[in-house]
A and B are shown apart, each in its own frame.
Chain A
């Protein structure tokens, strides 16, 4: 048998089922890698908790569906008695009293939580460099970023510290790091996964989803998370259960290639790699059709009004009164607020709170937040039109491959451009995923596939067949 940490989740479940390995052994093997600080994927690894869960599953008379396979959890998700900081100093040492619904569902299905993964503070960032606890490194090149905000979740799967993990995606925070780390990342339809326990960045955009090294693994993990949760009014039931994809052909599949995301602003190497992948899809029987998102040029501006506006309210609860960091020696209430928040939040979080506060201010609401919501509606219509012609759309996931640490930290706007390919689908609430489709300059390139709302199964089938045809090796060169 291969190294335990090279197994996909599906293979590991089969091996446990066949009695070849126990959950404890599998967990131990992954713990050994998770505790390495080479990549700084994890903010906290809880060995005892993980092994206790693995032992329980091994001892159980009936094996749960996920059989005790370890999983990494983005630190934005609340985990009872397991430190949860959302990458922020303001929540340093915070131990939640409850567990997020999606994590609880995975644990109930037999997943073993190994620990919490690093992220940009409050999921604001595209490089993981905004973490208050230091950046995560890309397993393909330790001097480069893993992407963000779910950088730790992506690098942990790429570096074989876990076979799969959970991230959250607001404007691309699952798909972009998946692309930069050469793995599969999936953002479900808005509402498919409960947000109860996901520390909110932008409530109308946030969505939890899986990272894995295969499309089938990502479908399997999602299968155990989806469905309406009475604790989240915006959550919904899917029309059919998530199925594991099995088709190898794409005959009749109409693939729309988003023209606006294939030209200027996208690195030539990325474009060429994506084009090769599209040709592979064609060879599987798919047909390619150029499509347009007429309002794509407004996507970034729209996103950077809506997301900061919502975050300005969502992050107001961190006031030093009930939990988390509280400044020392404040003399009155206002000073308590000001100093607690000045000390607790990093610069990018402060920037967005200020942007959002301004966008909602009396007299500016209509011009900014109101206008952004109207453009968002237009973008939903753009996609409605597109999906009356094609079944899925395709584009690069990120305009570039992984960039060097520190390259974009001084220039927020360039950093924001990292998400131009992923934001339109986020604004429309659509399911979208990134699969690795080749290398450019020795670094992974992601192919983004997206479909109409609730078309998860179709998307998984398209991604699975393409993945098989491409045969991408997810092992990072030189670090495996």
Chain B
């Protein structure tokens, strides 16, 4: 907030669907977009007598996430029943975790253009997702709908709920944090992180206090923002709403809110008085999860480099900018590709080429670098030839285009197509002299100080040499020779 009198205090709760093959407590396959109620069984439909069994892979993914979030992994964790009636919850309780979560306190580090930040992680716990409700008729909400349908395919999907400390101060910070958290979870294979499809959802707890005050103000909870933009805008709108209330001498009411991204409106879902009493108690159908310590350590040792650490290393060891590092660590595949190019060429040039020309050319054919004809070595070879002045930049781009289309060895392409740079300086001197003579008017204007015309002569030289001239050297020679001619 730019407001100098008020400070916002924000904590985020993230629900991430885990990339397991089957549901949290039964053997039904996870699917998205299949016909409704085709992945169900007595357990996830809560038939009488059915019992849950904990999905070991979900536990493993939660422990990986816990390590990445810098969390403690307690000796044991316990499932609890969270009781409430709703048609999307067939047992009328959700199996979740309460006071003994799978991941204890931790700290997550993320980078932004103004440096590194830490967000405290309160906990991360396992739970099952609810089924999907569809309301038809009316305005699509339950109230006024003519018909409500339940699809239990999603019911029982494993979720990891990550709860942060109230360490964030703006919507922009929250969004930056969530982006990098998402990237970390996606790169570790914990979730697909698809916010539009709801496989990752975020709620924000927001309060406002006068700058300098230690106590928190009354908080509200903003539910289910399904994009980074909505998260940032929603939080911004709620902070503004609270400040306005406080400045008018009013007080914020503790309630659960919904942000409408279309209208920008915030409306109340329920107040504190209407809040559920979930009557948590330990799930007697499940035994506590007591992960083998050696296994927990093994998982930690096997963790790949986290995106934030990779960015650090790229910035300090390879001299990349924050932006380069952010863009190139978007996906593990891109990061690996870049690393391979940078191991054979100058890292800065590698970053420029991968982010710039390569992506631009591949966009035309709708390919990603790692699945294209351009091997990291080929790209490194092109970069090497440019830096060694063996090929001009325009011809280097042409070579790349050739590799994109047909693959092959860039050096051979340069050779067979005769695209190599003119290495003999006297040849260029002769060319420049000839061009200055042929275009005497322009040469005179250049002498009179119209420097722009250097570009004209460079263009003519490139044309005459079919791109084999080094435009930089040609420019130098034009300056030299125009006065001596």
- In chain A between 77 and 96, which residues have their CB closer than 8 angstroms to a CB of chain B? 77-78, 84, 86, 91, 94, 96
Q: How far is the CB of A364 from chain B (nearest CB, A)?
A: 10
Contact assessment for B48 and A78 in the assembled complex, using a CB-CB cutoff below 8 Å: yes
Contact pick for A96, options B46, B47, B51, B85, CB 8 Å: B47
The reply to whether B51 and A195 form a contact with Cβ atoms under 8 Å apart is yes
A96 touches B48 (CB 8 A): yes
B277 is an interface residue with CB less than 8 A from chain A = yes
Q: Is A196 an interface residue (CB 8 A)?
A: yes
Residue of A nearest to B43 (CB): A231
| With known contacts A316-B92, A361-B279, A78–B49 Cβ distance under 8 A | yes
- Mark out the residues of chain B between 383 and 428 whose CB falls within 8 Å of any chain A CB in the assembled complex: none
A94 to B47 CA separation, bound complex (whole angstroms): 10
Q: Which residue of A lies closest to B52 (CB)?
A: A233
Q: Which residues of B contact A360 (CB under 8 A)?
A: 83, 279-281
User: Distance (Å) between the CB of A410 and the closest chain B CB?
Assistant: 30
Known: A313-B81, A317-B92. A203 touches B284 (CB 8 A): yes
Closest residue to A94 on the B side, CB-wise? Answer: B48
Answer yes or no: A18 CB below 8 A from chain B CBs.
Answer: no
Check A197–B45 contact: CB distance below 8 A.
no
Total B residues in contact with A, Cβ cutoff 8 Å: 30
Cβ contact within 8 Å between A313 and B87? no
Cα distance A97–B280 in the bound complex, in angstroms = 30
Contact A319 B47 (CB under 8 A): no
Alpha-carbon distance between A230 and B26 when the two chains are bound, in angstroms: 11
Complex Cα gap A321–B91 (Å)? 11
B451 within 8 A of A: no
Cβ contacts under 8 Å, B280 to chain A: 360, 365
Give CA–CA (A166, B81) in the complex, Å.
29
Contact A321 B87 (CB under 8 A): yes
Q: Does B430 contact A (CB under 8 A)?
A: no
**In the complex, A369 Cα to B282 Cα: how many Å?**
11
A234 at the interface (CB under 8 A from B): yes
- Nearest-Cβ distance from residue B305 to partner chain A, whole angstroms: 36
Nearest residue in A to B281 (C-beta to C-beta)? A360
Contact in complex: A309, B281 (CB < 8 Å): yes
* Complex-state Cα separation, A300 to B463, whole angstroms: 100
Tell me which of B53, B90, B285, B286 contacts A317 (CB under 8 A).
B90
Q: In the complex the two chains form, is B92's CB within 8 Å of A196's CB?
A: no
Q: Is there contact, CB below 8 Å, between A362 and B279?
A: yes
A337 contacts the other chain (CB 8 A): yes
Q: A100-B49, A197-B49, A313-B83 are contacts. A234–B285 as well, Cβ < 8 Å?
A: yes
Give the residues from 52 to 76 in chain B that come closer than 8 angstroms, CB to CB, to chain A.
52-54
Q: Are B51 and A317 touching (Cβ within 8 A)?
A: no
Q: Is the interface of A mostly helix, strand, loop or mixed?
A: loop
Q: Which residue of chain B is the closest to A86 with respect to CB atoms?
A: B48
Check B93 for interface membership: any CB of A closer than 8 A.
yes
Q: Separation in Å of the B188 CB from the closest CB of chain A?
A: 27
Inter-chain contacts of A361 with B (CB < 8 A): 277, 279
Interface of B is mostly: loop
Does B42 make an interface contact (CB < 8 A)? yes
Name the distance in Å between B254's Cβ and chain A's nearest Cβ. 16
Interface string of A225-269 (1 = CB under 8 A from B): 000001111100000000000000000000000000000000000
Q: Which of A199, A357, A362, A365 contacts B49 (CB 8 A)?
A: A199
Please, which residues of chain A bring their CB within 8 A of the CB of B284?
202-204, 234, 310
In the complex, the answer to whether A322 meets B51 with C-beta atoms within 8 Å is no
The verdict on B287 contacting chain A, using a C-beta distance below 8 Å, is yes
A10 shortest CB reach to chain B, Å: 30
Our pick among B47, B52, B93, B277 for the contact of A97 (Cβ within 8 Å) is: B47
Produce 1/0 per residue, B195-211, CB < 8 A to A. Answer: 00000000000000000
**Within the assembled complex, what's the spacing in Å between the Cα atoms of A317 and B54?**
20
> Closest chain B residue to A310 by CB distance?
B284
Give B17-55 as 1s and 0s: 1 = Cβ < 8 Å from A's Cβ atoms: 000000000000000000000000010011111111110
From residue B99, how far is it (CB to closest CB) to chain A in Å?
Answer: 11
Q: Do A357 and B279 touch (CB < 8 A)? A: yes
Q: How far is the CA of A230 from the CA of B53 in the complex (A)?
A: 8
Please, how many angstroms separate the alpha-carbon atoms of A321 and B47 in the complex? 12
A369 touching B48 in the complex, CB below 8 Å, given contacts A230-B53, A317-B91, A321-B87: no
Chain A, residue nearest B53 (CB)? A233
Determine how close the nearest CB of chain A comes to the CB of B7; give it in whole angstroms.
31
In angstroms, how far is the closest chain A Cβ from the Cβ of B369?
45
Across-interface contacts of B279 in A (CB, < 8 A):
312-313, 357, 360-362, 365
Q: Is A193 an interface residue (CB 8 A)?
A: no
Quick check: is A1 within 8 A (CB to CB) of the other chain?
no
Residues of B within 8 A of A319 (CB): 85, 87, 92
Closest A residue by C-beta to B87: A321
- Which of B85, B150, B281 makes the CB contact (< 8 A) with A365? B281
Does any Cβ of B come within 8 Å of A98's Cβ? yes
Residue numbers in A under 8 Å from B83 (CB-CB): 312-313, 316, 360
The distance from the CB of B484 to the nearest CB of chain A, in whole angstroms, is 91
Nearest Cβ distance between residue B88 and chain A, in whole angstroms? 10
Query: Is A333's CB within 8 Å of the partner chain B?
Result: yes
Bitwise, B77-107 to A at CB < 8 A (1) or not (0) is: 0000101010100111100000000000000
On chain B, the residues within 8 Å of A13 by CB distance are none
**B51 and A231 within 8 A (CB):** yes
Q: Which of B49, B87, B150 has the most CB atoms of chain A within a 10 A radius of its CB?
A: B49
Q: Which 8 A-B pairs have the closest CB atoms?
A: A316-B92, A360-B279, A203-B284, A204-B284, A78-B49, A197-B49, A199-B48, A317-B46
Query: 24 A–B contact pairs at CB < 8 A?
Result: A96-B42, A97-B42, A98-B42, A98-B47, A195-B49, A197-B50, A203-B285, A231-B51, A231-B53, A233-B54, A234-B285, A310-B281, A312-B279, A313-B83, A313-B92, A316-B85, A316-B91, A316-B92, A317-B46, A318-B48, A322-B45, A361-B277, A362-B279, A365-B280
**16 further interface pairs, Cβ-Cβ under 8 Å (given A96-B48, A203-B285, A310-B284):** A78-B48, A98-B50, A196-B50, A197-B50, A199-B49, A200-B48, A200-B285, A202-B284, A231-B51, A233-B287, A234-B285, A310-B281, A316-B91, A337-B85, A360-B281, A362-B279
B contact residues vs A (CB 8 Å cutoff): 42, 45-54, 81, 83, 85, 87, 90-93, 142, 150, 277-281, 284-287
